[in-house]
């Protein structure tokens, strides 16, 4: 029997399912991902509103042992809007019947069509990526549903999508890392916060493996901050060193690298990062304050005094730098012993 296909469909030969599934093609229902999955005696199919979901299901089929390469693949992906079939095959026949796209196995003479319960031809509208960009604007994504607004009419349309894009995975993970970021001199996160950050790391790591070209400074920054937040300073340092090498004009990367280096008291690298950040933005009071702290810890008290005085001239209301200025002055006058680490510096003077 021919089967109706909609949107983006994964169409599978039943004889291939017989080969790889314990229950054969009869077991397709056990792996079918949604209610838009059905079969006849020759073919099985699952339809998806989002191509990315179809691709994820295709990967699952490959894990089960099905092939989608060669001259006669076990399954193909069909785009209803343009009738494209990927990869090309010699066994699938597509035809239109009363506004519906029908698929059947070559040589089948059945005339009964297997279709979903709601098979109204216009129940689902098909748009290409170009049409979506031209005619619609994105509103929100919630509970696996993407909402778009038609520009011309204001009408809302909806697309079901189970699979998150790499950009969405990164944004969600990075939001967690940034929200729970560890400030210099503060202990590493523990308990539930540490678990949340570890989940973010687990989400970010596959992106670097799957998309090496996209594993750029943003991923390096996110991974660096995440490792630092849960007390894995050396791993975080390696990621941030990579980030500043990739984008040496970004002062945020130098700040985060400096924070990690201060935590492990790697003062030479911290000093180098702070000086390079100030070279990029020489009139940034916060960066100058950071440099003054590291200069003090490194034993360059006189240089620290000059740096913090310049920072205070730029922003006299900066309370953090005012406190740093007071500590540096006490060390210079002999009222206080020079601290050897950030933790020691943040302790009250004896």
Residue 3 has pLDDT above 90, yes or no: no
With b for 16 or more beta-carbon neighbours within 10 A and e for fewer, the 271-302 pattern comes to: bbbbbbbbeeeeebbbbbbbbbbbbbbbeebe
Q: Judging by DSSP bridges, how do beta strands 43-48 and 156-160 pair with one another?
A: unpaired
CA dihedral 275, 277, 278, 284 (to 10 degrees): -140
Beta-carbon neighbour count of residue 58 at 10 Å?
Answer: 19
pLDDT of residue 120: 52
pLDDT of residue 270: 93
- The pLDDT tens digits for 337-347 are 999 888 888 87
Residue 127 has pLDDT above 60, yes or no: no
Residue 327 has pLDDT above 70, yes or no: yes
Contact 79, 51 (CB under 8 A): yes
Nearest CA to 177 out of 241, 225, 228 is that of 225
Question: How far from 202 is each of 132, 170, 199, 210, 217, CA to CA, in Å?
Answer: 32, 11, 5, 13, 18
Q: What's the maximum distance between 2 C-alpha atoms anywhere in the chain? A: 98
- The pLDDT tens digits for 182-213 are 888 888 999 999 999 999 988 888 776 666 55
pLDDT of residue 222: 86
Beta-carbon neighbour count of residue 202 at 10 Å?
Answer: 11
Q: What are phi and psi of 189, to 5 degrees?
A: -70, 150
* Alpha-carbon gap, residue 80 to 240, rounded angstroms: 45
Contact 75, 66 (CB under 8 A): yes
Residue 79's contacts (CB-CB under 8 Å, 6 or more residues apart) are 8, 51, 86
What six digits make up the tokens of 133?
A: 């960009």
Query: Which pLDDT band, with edges at 50, 70 and 90, does 77 fall under?
Result: very high
Question: How far from 80 is each of 11, 13, 293, CA to CA, in Å?
Answer: 12, 18, 63
Q: Judging by DSSP bridges, how do beta strands 8-13 and 43-48 pair with one another?
A: antiparallel
Question: Measured at the alpha carbon of residue 225, what is the angle toward residues 164 and 339, in degrees to the nearest 5?
Answer: 170
Residue 122 has pLDDT above 70, yes or no: no
* Alpha-carbon gap, residue 95 to 92, rounded angstroms: 10
- The pLDDT tens digits for 273-294 are 999 999 999 999 999 999 999 9
CATH topology for 166-346? 1.25.40
Average pLDDT over residues 75-100: 85
In the chain, what are the domain boundaries? 3-105, 129-160, 166-346
* Alpha-carbon gap, residue 119 to 308, rounded angstroms: 73
pLDDT of residue 261: 92
Whether the model clears a pTM of 0.75, i.e. scores above it, the answer is no
pLDDT of residue 210: 65
Alpha helices (H) along the chain: 14-20, 28-31, 51-63, 129-135, 166-179, 191-210, 217-229, 233-246, 251-263, 267-280, 285-297, 301-314, 319-333, 342-346
- The pLDDT tens digits for 28-57 are 888 888 777 888 888 898 888 778 888 888
Residue reference for tokens 């020759």: 42
Of residues 320 and 37, more confidently modeled: 320
pLDDT mean across residues, the chain = 83
- The pLDDT tens digits for 138-187 are 776 665 666 667 777 777 665 555 566 777 778 888 889 989 988 888 88
Of residues 214 and 99, more confidently modeled: 99
Q: Mind giving me the DSSP string for 200-265?
A: HHHHHHHHHHH-TTT--HHHHHHHHHHHHHTT-HHHHHHHHHHHHHH-TT-HHHHHHHHHHHHHTT
Residue 317 has pLDDT above 60, yes or no: yes
Average pLDDT over residues 65-73: 87
Which 8-state DSSP code applies to residue 114?
B
Average pLDDT over residues 241-259: 89
């Amino acid at each position: 029997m021919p089967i109706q296909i909609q949107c983006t469909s994964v169409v599978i030969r039943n004889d291939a399912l017989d080969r790889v599934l314990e229950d054969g093609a009869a077991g397709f229902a056990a792996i079918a991902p949604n209610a838009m999955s059905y079969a006849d005696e020759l073919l099985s199919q699952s339809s998806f509103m989002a191509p990315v979901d179809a691709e994820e299901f295709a990967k699952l089929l490959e894990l089960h042992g099905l092939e989608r390469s060669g001259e006669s693949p076990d399954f193909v992906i069909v785009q209803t809007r343009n009738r494209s079939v990927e990869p090309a095959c010699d066994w699938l026949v597509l035809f239109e019947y009363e506004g519906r796209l029908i698929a059947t196995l070559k040589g089948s003479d059945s005339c009964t069509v297997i279709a979903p319960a709601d098979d109204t031809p216009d129940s689902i509208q098909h748009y290409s990526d170009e049409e979506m960009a031209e005619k619609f604007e994105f509103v929100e994504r919630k509970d696996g549903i993407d909402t778009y607004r038609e520009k011309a009419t204001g009408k809302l349309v909806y697309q079901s999508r189970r699979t998150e894009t790499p950009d969405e995975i990164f944004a969600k993970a990075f939001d967690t890392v940034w929200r729970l970021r560890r400030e210099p001199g503060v202990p590493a996160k523990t308990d539930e916060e540490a678990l949340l950050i570890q989940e973010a790391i687990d989400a970010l790591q596959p992106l670097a493996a799957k998309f090496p070209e996209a594993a750029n400074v943003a991923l390096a920054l996110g991974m660096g901050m995440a490792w630092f937040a849960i007390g894995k300073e050396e791993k975080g340092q390696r990621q941030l060193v990579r980030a500043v090498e990739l984008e040496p004009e970004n002062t945020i990367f130098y700040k985060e690298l400096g924070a990690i280096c201060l935590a492990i008291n790697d003062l030479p690298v911290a000093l180098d990062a702070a000086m390079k950040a100030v070279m990029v933005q020489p009139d940034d009071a916060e960066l100058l304050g950071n440099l003054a702290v590291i200069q003090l810890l490194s034993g360059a008290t006189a240089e620290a005094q000059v740096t913090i005085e310049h920072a205070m001239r730029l922003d006299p209301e900066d309370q953090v730098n005012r406190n740093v200025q007071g500590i540096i002055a006490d060390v210079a006058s002999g009222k206080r012993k020079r601290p050897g680490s950030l933790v020691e510096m943040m302790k009250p003077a004896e």
